[in-house]
Amino acid sequence: MYSAEDNARIELIKKHIGEYPDFPKKGIIFKAVKELFLSYIKSSCPDIDAVVGLDARGFLFSLLIASELSIGCVPIRKKGKLPGETYSVEYQLEYGVDVFQLQKSALKPGQKVLIVDDLIATGGTLEAATKLIEKSGAVVVECLAIMELTPLKGRDKLKNYKVHSFIQYDED
């Protein structure tokens, strides 16, 4: 499924992901991440109109991808950060409850969208993002993340969507 170069990028990223018990934070190698994302998107969903990045760590990747592909980059942000009219959705994530917002004017009906984040845990964050995007009439083509904590079964919340992660952690 991956080229030899992609496998090397995945190994490089994996090597630099630290373990920080009791603190929800992860580190990454940017160049390898960018190339890995671009190579995957080229083969899986080359026909997208915009990249949606999720507050906050998703922004790091959505900007890189959108700028390389010369397409729009749209932020979904936590409550109270976006000006103008917004759609809102409350959601649950691994360690709490939050509210996500999307500007009503950010996406047009029918636009094909890729959602990008750093990590899938319970899937609550990505599920909330799909709801917001669909409120605006745009279409979620795929959800993409670097890492996935598979025991938390995030994909159960995302059954109607194509979901991909490059690195899976199989233990709690």
Ligand X SMILES: Nc1ncnc2[nH]cnc12
Ligand Y SMILES: O=P(O)(O)OC[C@H]1O[C@H](OP(=O)(O)OP(=O)(O)O)[C@H](O)[C@@H]1O
Q: What angle do CA 144, 146, 149 make, to 5 degrees?
A: 100
Is there binding between residue 77 and ligand Y (CB under 6 A)? no
Rounded Cα gap, residues 54 and 38, in angstroms: 18
Q: Which does 120 bind (CB under 5 to 8 A by kind): ligand X, ligand Y, none?
A: ligand Y
Q: Under the rule (CB under 6 A), what is the footprint of ligand X?
A: 24, 26, 93-94, 119, 121, 149
Residues 162/142, Cβ–Cβ less than 8 Å: yes
One of 62, 101, 103, 122 touching ligand Y (CB under 6 A):
122
Q: Which does 26 bind (CB under 5 to 8 A by kind): ligand X, ligand Y, none?
A: ligand X
Taking the CA atoms of 119, 120, 123 and 128 in sequence, report the sign of the dihedral they define.
Answer: positive
84 secondary structure, DSSP code: S
Task: List the beta bridge partners of residue 49.
Answer: none
CB nearer to ligand Y: give 23 or 70: 23
One of 62, 101, 125, 165 touching ligand Y (CB under 6 A):
125
One of 123, 130, 146, 165 touching ligand Y (CB under 6 A):
123
CB nearer to ligand X: give 52 or 107: 52
Q: Which does 154 bind (CB under 5 to 8 A by kind): ligand X, ligand Y, none?
A: ligand Y
Q: What residue type is 123 in one-letter code?
A: G
Catalytic pick among 35, 68, 94, 134: 94
Catalytic pick among 9, 57, 77, 148: 57
Task: List the beta bridge partners of residue 101.
Answer: 77, 88
Min. distance of Cβ 56 from ligand Y in angstroms?
4
Min. distance of Cβ 136 from ligand X in angstroms?
25
Q: Which does 123 bind (CB under 5 to 8 A by kind): ligand X, ligand Y, none?
A: ligand Y
The number of residues in the chain equals: 172
Residues 50/113, Cβ–Cβ less than 8 Å: yes
Burial class (CB in 10 A: 0-12, 13-18, 19+), 51: buried
Catalytically active residues are 57, 94
